Amino acid sequence: MATQTEPAEVRRSLGLTGATMNAMALIAPGAFLWTTFQLQAAATAPDGTSVAADIWAGIVFALILAFLSAVSYAELAKLYPEAGFGSTYYFAEKAFLDRETSAHHRWARFAKLITGWAAHLYYWAYPGVMVAFTATLIGYIYTAVTGNSLSNLELTAIAVAFAILTGYIASRGVTGSTLTATVINVIQLITLVGFSAFAVVYRHTNPGGNNTWSFSGAWDVVRPHTFSGVLIQSTLAILILVGFESCTALAAETKDPKKNIPRAVILSLIVQGLFAYLLEYFAAGYMVSDQLTATAADKSVVTGLVAAGTSSAPLGDMAVLVGDRLLGGLGFGLMISIAVTVVLALIGTTLSCLNTAARVTYAMSKDEEMPEILGLLHGQYATPARAIWVLMAVSCVIAAIGVQSVVGLTGITLASNFGTFMLYGLTCLWTVMAYGGTRDSHFVKHRIVPWLGLLANLLMLGAILYLYVIGNADSKKEAYICFGIAGAWALVSVLYVVLSGKKAPGISSVAKPAS
């Protein structure tokens, strides 16, 4: 693999569409409806009562919180278009160093280090979780087609192959990644719209004649049922909305980043969150009835939302119902087709996160806050290839744990989520700091919105951890794994800073585009 300390050129090849497509790929509604609907349908309040009826309302509440963070990202990207690969890591330092009062400057390094810690906790765990999801899904497809099951070793081999594929695409440059993301986004959006239309038609044609629907009607699907239910569902739903900020790490490769990056942040959340998620989750809830069945752990047959919370792939089960009833018995084929598009969507979301993670790592390495080897760029493609391949190796380890232990994978996922909410909350705080006292400061965008975003992220962080700590034995183990990973990464970060001996803060080194 050809690398060099400084690349020949980092070219601006992305327009608004390219930056938006990369962010949309990480949000990936096609992947998350398949992988998380079961978790959302199975969610319960602390007293054990189901809160599955509040899935849609929880997504709406989480979407509001996501937009609060997205506005902060967009405003910082507008203020610091020169951020290059640094994203929020760069924003954090500049927010303090740009203040006229020198007393603020001493906090610049602490701000960027805690931001870098949170970013790596989020971005370095997330791809491994996606790789594990992909291997599990491929195993599901294999079982559905052949009737046989893959061993954990075979699933691990699939995960490694998948990680190598996405790492290879990412290392060859953002143009190839963007083309891949664009194709995948188009495929999954067409699939989601098609499935949603079938789901609505399925209910209105009332196949079978005697269905008992889980929701009485459209309003019952979307209305809040209980406050606690909406809050609990929102702590799950916020996890499917993250990724809109990923394009802020592509500023060095984006034409006119001051204009295009902020727009891409908001557009990606509008298309994938406001449109795709609300449509598909409405349709999925609208069609659930007693025709959706599953076998519980005690061998009893359950139906409706209970079945959705029991099945390993409720969306696949729904696709079978739709295809068998409306498409002349083609349910199995429809299910396999949708499953394949989900695999493609997982390629897109893994690839997007790899690109973001490696670029933030590169920025920290060039700033001498991480090992120098991670700051080497590919001599031909000008990508942070070393960081990509190290991250790929980490993803393989995470996936190997995930395919063998659901508790282990969930604990790692929680650690990633912990980093996500820390990063989003800090970004909102740096927005307040960056625009403090400036002439172009806007009271709503630079004061009200960031403070609300900070409070919302802290609320979600506290709620998620609280719900896991008071949960059953497995939930507590998952919470301990989360705390262990977060604490261990914090310790490693502190030790590296102390041993490196770097003292003076300076403007972060980021990849610069060719002139």
- pLDDT class of 503 with cuts at 50, 70, 90: low
SS3 of residue 324 by DSSP:
helix
Give the total number of structural domains in the chain.
Answer: 1
- Average of pLDDT values for 332-353? 89
83 in a domain, yes or no?
Answer: yes
In a domain, residue 27? The reply is yes
| CATH code of 247's domain | 1.20.1740.10
The reply to whether 194 falls in a domain is yes
Strands 301-303 and 293-295: antiparallel
> Residue 509 falls within a domain, yes or no?
no
Beta-ladder partners of 3? 378
Q: Quick: pLDDT tens for 149-160.
A: 899 999 999 999
pLDDT value at 438 more than 70: no
pTM of the model as a whole: 0.88
506 has pLDDT over 60: no
What would the pLDDT profile of 7-16 be if each residue is shown by its tens digit?
446 678 889 9
| Cβ partners under 8 Å of residue 202, min gap 6 | 287, 321, 322, 325, 326
Contact yes or no for 324/331 (Cβ under 8 A) = yes
- Report the pLDDT value the prediction gives residue 7, as an integer from 0 to 100: 45
Residue 453 lies in a domain: yes
Question: Of 250, 253, 281, which is closest to residue 268 (Cα–Cα)?
Answer: 250
Please determine, for residue 448, whether its predicted confidence score (pLDDT) is greater than 60.
yes
Question: Band of the pLDDT at 512, cuts 50, 70, 90?
Answer: low
pLDDT at 462: 85
Contact between residue 28 and residue 345 where contact means Cβ atoms under 8 Å apart: yes
Q: Is residue 149 part of a domain?
A: yes
Q: What is the pLDDT of residues 274-296, one digit of tens each?
A: 999 999 999 999 999 999 998 88
> What backbone phi and psi angles, to 5 degrees, belong to 14?
-100, 135
Cα maximum dimension of the chain: 74
Least confident range from 12-16, 346-350, 461-465: namely 461-465
Q: Is 315 exposed, middle or buried (0-12, 13-18, 19+ CB in 10 A)?
A: buried
pLDDT confidence tier of residue 27, bands split at 50, 70 and 90: confident
Q: Could you tell me if residue 514 is inside a domain? A: no
In a domain, 481, yes or no: yes
Boundaries of domain holding 302:
3-500
